[in-house]
Amino acid sequence: MEPVSPADLTRTVLDRHANVPDVRLKEIITSLIAHLHAFATEVRLTEQEWAAGIRFLTEAGHITDANRQEFILLSDTLGLSMLVDVINHDAGEGSTESTVLGPFWVADAAWRENGAVIGRPDDGEPLHVFGQVLDLGRTPIAGAVVDVWQASGRGLYDVQDPQQPVGNLRGRFRTDAAGRYDFWTVRPLAYAIPDDGPVGKMLAALGRHPWRAAHIHFKVSAEGCRSVTSHVFDAEGGYLDSDTVFGVKPSLVRTTSVVAGAPPAPFTGDEHRSIEYDFVLVPK
């Protein structure tokens, strides 16, 4: 009797899924099994390595709770989250590219007036952010919603940090008749993702660091347009070429300028940094 080969077994497992009732589920499971088996066969996965994989997933499951999502960190650090973003947000020519939402967005953030200050001197260096929301023909869109959030200079978002007031470094703005938005915050700094779990151990074993490039999150929406979830990255903030979740797209990087002029209170000094950043939305 012929012994069973790896290829025989893969064929048997795939054949077992010939009659999956849901067409889309069949497509997904068939591709998943084919690639999972191809991976194990290609590297000739040992029983010890398989067992290490089971232990890794078990530890990731056990550290995951309402405030910590190790499987999302795993997806992020293997580039899967960004891949799903790229697959699903094939931006039209000239429109703003998207990037990961991340775990720190909060629904229904406070509404703020244009020109408002959303950060504190303790959070970092004053930064003026302004620009326009435009359509593909570069016509300004009035009444667009610009939802903003970012980490403080300590590398934490308000929802992670008892030392920040709720809603710090966060807010929703509406563009004016000329499509303009405008707010004062602090210059974003690079920060490390939570690295005290199995994903942190994995990054260390791979010789990778846990740092994200300095960024401000945006979620921009307007009637009749597709919303875009994006970041603006600080060109001088570091880690642009090695952002640990692969979130950097070249079109999203901006250099801050140093501008003469005092920032509004509670900031002090007689100059400040600024970023001008326009968003281009595509029709639905």
Residues 186-215 interacting with a copy of itself (rule: CB under 8 A) = 205-208
CA distances to 61, 103, 126, 210 from 256, in Å: 41, 26, 11, 24
Q: Give the rounded distance of the alpha carbon of 130 from its chain centre.
A: 21
Interface positions, 43-72, toward a copy of itself (CB under 8 A): 43-47, 49-50, 54, 57-58, 60-62, 64, 69, 71-72
Task: Provide the 10 A C-beta neighbour count for residue 94.
Answer: 12
Chain positions 250 to 279 lying near a copy of itself, rule: CB under 8 A, are 250-251
Contact range with a copy of itself by CB under 8 A, out of 37-45, 175-183, 218-226, 267-275? 37-45
**Can you tell me which of 22, 108, 223, 270 binds a copy of itself, judged by CB under 8 A?**
22
Q: Is 31 helix (H, G, I), strand (E, B) or coil?
A: helix
Q: Residue 10: exposed, middle, or buried by beta-carbon count in 10 A (0-12, 13-18, 19+)?
A: middle
Stretch touching a copy of itself by CB under 8 A, among 73-81, 126-134, 155-163, 269-277: 73-81
What is the nearest approach in angstroms of a copy of itself to the Cβ of residue 260?
A: 30
Residues touching a copy of itself, count (CB under 8 A): 71
**Ranges within 92-131 binding a copy of itself (CB under 8 A):** 97
64 Cβ contact list (under 8 Å, min separation 6): 70, 71
Q: Which residues of 168-184 are buried (b: 16+ CB within 10 A; e: fewer)?
A: bbbbbbbbeeebbbbbb
Comparing CA positions, the residue from 226, 201, 70, 10 lying closest to residue 136 is: 226
Nearer to a copy of itself, 44 or 284 (CB): 44
Q: How far is the CB of 60 from a copy of itself (least distance, A)?
A: 6
Stretch that binds a copy of itself, among 23-31, 211-219, 231-239, 264-272 (CB under 8 A): 23-31
Closest contact distance (angstroms) between CB of 85 and a copy of itself is: 8
At residue 132, the 3 state secondary structure works out as: strand
- Any residues with CB less than 8 A from the CB of 135 and at least 6 apart, and which? 141, 225, 280, 281, 283
Taking the CA atoms of 231, 237, 240 and 244 in sequence, report the sign of the dihedral they define.
negative
Strand ranges in 14-76 using DSSP code E only, listed in sequence order? none
Residue with tokens 């020519």: 93
- The distance of closest approach from Cβ of residue 133 to a copy of itself in the complex, given in angstroms and rounded to an integer, is 19
Question: Least separation, in Å, of the C-beta of 199 and a copy of itself?
Answer: 13
Structure tokens at 27: 């497509």
Is there binding between residue 38 and a copy of itself (CB under 8 A)? Answer: yes
If the CB atoms of residues 212 and 249 are measured against a copy of itself, the closer one turns out to be 249
Least distance (Å) from a copy of itself to the CB of residue 162?
A: 26
Site map (CB under 8 A) of a copy of itself, residues 75-94, x = contact? x--xxxxxxxxxxx-xx---
Give the shortest CB-274-to-a copy of itself separation in angstroms.
Answer: 21
Place of tokens 């004053």: 126
